[in-house]
Amino acid sequence: MKLHRITTNNNPRWRLNIAFCLASVFPTWVMAQTPAVEYKTLDERELRSCLFIADDQLRLRCFDGATGRSAVVKDGTTPAAVAELDGGFLLFKQPLDTQLSWFDRRWELDPSSKQGKFQVRPYKPVYLLPLYFNNTPNKRPSSPNPLNRVESDQDIDSEEVKFQLSLKTKVLENVVGDNGDVWFGYTQSSRWQVYNNELSRPFRETNYEPEVMFTWRSSWAEFADTTGWNPRLLGLSLNHQSNGRSLPLSRSWNRLIGMVGFERQDTTFQVRPWVRFQEDEADDDNPDISDYMGRVDYLLVHKTQGHEISLLARHNNKFSANSRGAVQMDWAFPIRSNLRGHVQFFSGYGESLIDYNHRSDYLGMGVSLVGWY
């Protein structure tokens, strides 16, 4: 190959011509070396929420999560990423295999999804159902314990308001290496007879549910390859649930709950078997609660285009004349920003603790702010 001398005649334009050529070729070469990427759109409000965190380390983690850095930085390596600003949104190009799963987002399983301790996180759905209809109200709650039997009918309307609040916070992180977190969760659901003028609009039933949960990141490649479902989450929970009422309306129980979570694209499936801690017969408000509220539940959640559809089923693991349980279906659909419409249908035993052994159907409509994922 012959080399030819380029004659410039001391004209500086040749340098500019070469620079323009390199500038046009270099971006094309870089893009050819970059793996398949997609845009992750993040709202400016996520960034602003980080400004009010006093702790420097937690604030940095918040900004990393809000900008997408926690998703593109993994195991000490940083894949090729390009940040752009478009219409007030920060766009982060990131490789497809670094996206966080639904379980990672909600339970911070992956090391890149860790957000630190003692920060409030969503747990179960948060909703308000101003229209909640019960086709057969339980006007005389009962229990095998004579102290927990109501002797006369209560004046209860079929229409009421139902709402639920639920949150959790991490108290211990990475108990074993980079895995194993301990959470404290709290859920409260209320049924409010707001349309009942004769009884001065009382709260008919409120259930309080604190619990301590241990979660563990799991992976079983052979099972995922065979079935298409990735067993991502393992958990164990100490759970207390009660309605905080005096006799004869008092109801409560304590459980040890196991949890296994599977995911597949936009769908998750959880199985939660439990064992009840037995109480003294004389002090047990509801000795037969497991025969009605069940001994296991199954939760299937699917998300698509802003819609979330969930199916929750409970069963007592008896397949005879004593087979009992319940089914609840929820549909949340987008309205505006984080506000979503919410429809709930329940059929079976134990819609609340006071109705643990009462079968009924419920239909509710309202709004929700937080879903399962």
Same domain as 126, residue 95: no
pLDDT of residue 45: 62
CA 130 from centre of chain: 23
Q: Is residue 23 part of a domain?
A: no
Q: Is residue 70 part of a domain?
A: yes
Q: Is residue 19 part of a domain?
A: no
* pLDDT above 50 for 356: yes
Residues whose CB falls within 8 Å of the CB of residue 121, separated by 6 or more in sequence, listed in order: 106, 115, 167, 168, 169, 170
Closest of 211, 309, 328 to residue 268, by C-alpha: 309
Same domain as 210, residue 83: no
pLDDT digits (tens, 9 = 90+) for 108-148: 998 888 999 999 999 999 999 999 999 999 999 999 999 99
* Catalytic residue selected from 142, 166, 218, 242: 242
CATH number at 229 reads 2.40.230.10
Range of the domain at 343: 120-370
Same domain as 365, residue 239: yes
Same domain as 217, residue 154: yes
CATH number at 66 reads 3.30.56
- Report how many domains make up the chain: 2
Phi/psi of residue 341, nearest 5 degrees: -70, 155
* pLDDT above 50 for 23: no
Q: Mark whether 242 is an active-site residue.
A: yes
Same domain as 180, residue 77: no
pLDDT of residue 2: 46
pLDDT of residue 56: 62
**Residue that wins the pLDDT comparison between 121 and 74:** 121
Taken as a whole, the chain contains a residue count of 373
Same domain as 242, residue 140: yes
- Confidence band (pLDDT; 50, 70, 90) for 33? very low
Same domain as 226, residue 359: yes
Q: Is residue 27 part of a domain?
A: no
> Would you state the structure tokens that stand for residue 192, as one six-digit string?
């409010």
pLDDT of residue 301: 98
C-alpha to C-alpha distance for 367 and 361, rounded to whole angstroms: 20
Region 247-253 average pLDDT: 97
Task: Find out whether 328 and 360 touch, Cβ atoms under 8 Å.
Answer: no
> Would you state the structure tokens that stand for residue 6, as one six-digit string?
């380029």
C-alpha to C-alpha distance for 266 and 254, rounded to whole angstroms: 33
C-alpha to C-alpha distance for 97 and 80, rounded to whole angstroms: 13
* Catalytic residue selected from 190, 240, 302, 347: 240
Q: Is residue 25 part of a domain?
A: no
* pLDDT above 50 for 31: no
Same domain as 244, residue 152: yes
Rounded to 5°, angle at Cα 220 from 216 and 224? 125
Closest of 288, 282, 19 to residue 143, by C-alpha: 288
* pLDDT above 90 for 258: yes
Q: Is residue 30 part of a domain?
A: no
Closest of 147, 135, 144, 97 to residue 248, by C-alpha: 147
> Would you state the structure tokens that stand for residue 196, as one six-digit string?
């009942």
Same domain as 45, residue 135: no
Q: Is residue 15 part of a domain?
A: no
Same domain as 265, residue 221: yes
Same domain as 355, residue 211: yes
**Which of 85-94, 161-170, 217-226, 313-322 tops mean pLDDT?**
161-170
Task: Find out whether 337 and 316 touch, Cβ atoms under 8 Å.
Answer: no
pLDDT of residue 273: 98
> Would you state the structure tokens that stand for residue 282, as one six-digit string?
């004389």
> Could you tell me the sign of the dihedral formed by the alpha carbons of 151, 155, 157, 161, in that order?
negative
Same domain as 133, residue 67: no
Q: Is residue 112 part of a domain?
A: no
Region 225-232 average pLDDT: 92
